[in-house]
């Protein structure tokens, strides 16, 4: 008879504790997760931080937090006692919470690829001592990180890009600016027809030309063509993705170095930002200087999709507001249409250069 009562009491206890924990597990309990930085560079290591707090006098026997992790976020350790990563895609943490307690866990991760990543959606499952009942909740946390393109070293940056950047830094200090006019003088042999001041020439009856002033405000505009061929339509092919990613790294490196040298820097591409696919608009960040511009450029490069939103020569044709820029075009192919648009940009007072990228060349 005593055995029967023991069984009955055990069952009653199991049922009561199951009901008790089912009703109270999520009361006065909070779960948070975040990255240790809002932004970082491709290849950097950051921490994914989990913090859970139980502010009641009743323990939480066990709680499991599960989430889907983007492939671009790699955990340094695949499995620990209370932490598991399955196939590099699913992350699971298991907690025991005593009364009035708080647990903080730091998971080191490597950011393997440029982009914007959200790991804030978490499925929580809490149970009782015997796992008779389980309560589940879906939680959205503010766990997002922007991953900038990796900035290349001197050895990784192509020689033509090195030369172009060096010329852009020096050239603006020794060459006249087409938009700064300091006066008018008589025409001399060798003067460009573009410098003729037609109104003054008509008034005096003799050819007069504009005297250009010099500028100490150099501006670099990097324009990236995400098409790997003139025939490419829409998304970049899987076989070319890493090649285009390397071109983005080159563009980011040039812009960051130009800003470091005191130049204004801008970026444009016929790709589109996340959420803008199908808009028919590319990306244009006008040239400016300063740290805020650096963040603006890198943020746009992090958020750009490998999707051809516009044919490249059509995109170039729409850049009608560029004046006085040193333009470097990064493209995987050359064409008569591109050359024609480069001549139009130069006629508008810019200097345009083309750097041909090689397909199949990656980091």
- pLDDT of 254 reads 97
Q: Please give the class, per CATH, of domain 159-179+216-356.
A: alpha beta
Return the structure tokens found at 111: 């950011």
pLDDT band at 87 (very low <50, low <70, confident <90, very high): low
Tell the CATH topology of 27-148.
Immunoglobulin-like (2.60.40)
pLDDT band at 174 (very low <50, low <70, confident <90, very high): very low
The predicted model gives 94-119 an average pLDDT of: 95
pLDDT band at 341 (very low <50, low <70, confident <90, very high): very high
pLDDT digit string (tens) for 236-270? 888 889 999 999 999 999 999 999 988 999 999 99
CB 259 within 8 A of CB 296: no
Q: State residue 318 phi and psi, 5-degree precision.
A: -85, -5
Mean pLDDT of the chain: 87
pLDDT digit string (tens) for 65-79? 999 999 899 987 655
Residues 6+ positions from 106 with CB-CB distance below 8 Å: 36, 47, 48, 49
The predicted model gives 150-173 an average pLDDT of: 82
Q: Break the chain into its structural domains and give their ranges.
A: 27-148, 159-179+216-356
Q: Does residue 89 carry a pLDDT above 50?
A: yes
Q: Which range has highest mean pLDDT (81-85, 140-144, 289-293, 295-299)? A: 295-299
Name the DSSP class of 79.
Answer: E
- Rounded to 5°, the CA angle 227-307-257 comes to 70
Report helix, strand or coil for 27. coil
Q: Does residue 280 carry a pLDDT above 60?
A: yes
Q: Which helix (H) or strand (E) segment is 301 a member of?
A: helix 291-303
pLDDT digit string (tens) for 134-145? 999 999 999 999
- pLDDT of 334 reads 96
Distance in angstroms (rounded) separating the CA atoms of residues 224 and 231: 17
Full-model pTM:
0.82
Q: Does residue 112 carry a pLDDT above 70?
A: yes
Q: 45-54 and 83-86: which strand pairing?
A: unpaired
Lowest mean pLDDT among 139-143, 179-183, 205-209: 179-183
User: Exposed, middle or buried by CB within 10 Å (0-12, 13-18, 19+), for 307?
Assistant: middle
How many CB atoms are closer than 10 A to CB 185? 14
Which residue has 């450029």 as its token pair?
297
């Amino acid at each position: 008879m005593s055995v029967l009562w023991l069984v009955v009491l055990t069952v009653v206890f199991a049922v009561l504790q199951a009901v008790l924990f089912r009703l109270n597990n999520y009361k006065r309990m909070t779960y948070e997760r975040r990255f240790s930085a809002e932004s970082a560079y491709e290849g950097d290591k950051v921490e994914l931080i989990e913090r859970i707090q139980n502010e009641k006098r009743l323990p939480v026997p066990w709680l499991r937090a599960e989430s889907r992790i983007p492939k671009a976020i790699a955990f340094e350790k695949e499995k620990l006692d209370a932490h598991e990563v399955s196939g590099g895609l699913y992350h699971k943490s298991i907690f025991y919470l005593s009364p009035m307690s708080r647990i903080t866990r730091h998971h080191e991760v490597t950011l393997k690829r440029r982009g914007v990543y959200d790991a804030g959606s978490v499925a929580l499952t809490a149970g009782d001592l015997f796992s008779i009942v389980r309560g589940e909740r879906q939680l959205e946390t503010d766990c997002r990180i922007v991953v900038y393109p990796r900035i290349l070293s001197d050895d990784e940056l192509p020689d033509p890009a090195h030369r172009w950047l060096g010329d852009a830094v020096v050239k603006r200090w020794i060459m006249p600016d087409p938009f700064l006019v300091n006066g008018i003088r008589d025409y001399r042999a060798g003067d460009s027809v573009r410098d003729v001041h037609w109104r003054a020439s008509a008034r005096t009856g003799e050819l007069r030309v504009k005297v250009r002033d010099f500028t100490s405000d150099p501006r670099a505009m990097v324009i990236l063509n995400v098409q790997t061929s003139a025939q490419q339509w829409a998304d970049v092919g899987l076989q070319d993705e890493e090649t285009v990613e390397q071109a983005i790294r080159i563009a980011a490196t040039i812009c960051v170095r130009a800003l470091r040298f005191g130049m204004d820097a801008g970026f444009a591409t016929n790709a589109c930002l996340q959420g803008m696919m199908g808009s028919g608009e590319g990306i244009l960040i006008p040239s400016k200087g300063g740290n805020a511009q650096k963040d603006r450029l890198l943020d746009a490069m992090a958020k750009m999709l490998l999707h051809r939103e516009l044919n490249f020569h059509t995109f170039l044709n729409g850049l009608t507001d560029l004046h006085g820029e040193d333009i470097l075009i990064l493209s995987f192919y050359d064409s008569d249409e591109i050359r024609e648009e480069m001549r139009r940009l130069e006629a508008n007072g810019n200097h345009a250069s083309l750097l041909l990228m090689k397909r199949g060349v990656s980091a």
